[in-house]
Amino acid sequence: MAKRQSAGGIQARHDERRKKRIKEQKMRRIAFFSFLALIAVLIVMFFTPLFNIKNVEISGNNRISDEEITSTVGEIEGKNLFSYRKGKIKNRLYKLAYVEKVLVRKKAFPPAITIDIKERVPAFQAEYAGGFTVADKSGRVLEQTSEKLEGVPTLTGVLISSAKEGDAVVFKDTEAQKIIMSCIENMEKAGIIADITVMSFEDMTNITFNYQNRLDVICGTHIDFQRKLALFKEAVNSNKLTENSRGTINLSTTGKAIYTP
């Protein structure tokens, strides 16, 4: 009886080992053919024209033309979609002064590259080198123009010593620059800078600006400038003024916004 059990146990172990070998052989075959399939897929993806870029889609740009973007990026169409690096596109586009942020995506069907641009917004322009320097709220120079840009506030009463596109503008009076940029930042935060036509810093004790070509605003000094702008917005949005109201708003008196038609 013991011999039968021993023989039965040996046979069972033999069968178990046999099943294990068969299973391992199947797994090896599956792994081998999976590897071949992967190689075939990679060959199709990287070494055939099936996934060559057919189109470049650009969005979000307003001041930067499509032509300038495609020229900066270089030839993309016809390149392999999967081997072309998105970082290469971003690095080139960030060299454009107006570009604040770039989002690049790849589309497989049909093979295409999409480029979404977020542009920097001009916050002011000032006379420089016979023309005008245009900069954003941080003072980054966006472009040089021979004539004023429509819809961009003009800064007066400042002298610029350096204005290289893509770099920070440099005023001759560095202390005044800190005050001016702080005022511009507060105007941008208040959401009124797009409606300002002229900002005058000719007299730093009597800062003024013109709003929508209809209201002259007297601010006094830069002290409490954020609070003064809050008073200005409150006055503009009050029932006392309409969209057609013209005149002067004096913010230089502490805690008051005095409107004079």
CB distance 132 to 145 below 8 Å: yes
Domains of the chain, earliest start first: 51-119 (3.10.20.310), 122-260 (3.40.50.10960)
The 10s digit of each residue's pLDDT in 113-139 is: 999 999 999 999 999 999 999 999 999
* CA distance linking residue 117 with residue 64, whole number of Å: 9
pTM for the model stands at 0.79
- Model confidence over 140-190: pLDDT tens digits? 999 999 999 999 999 999 999 999 999 999 999 999 999 999 999 999 999
Tokens of 58: 């650009």
The beta-strand segments (E) located in 31-190 are 55-59, 99-107, 112-119, 122-128, 131-136, 141-145, 154-156, 160-162, 170-171
What mean pLDDT do residues 21-42 have? 71
Rounded CA gap, 159 and 144, in Å? 15
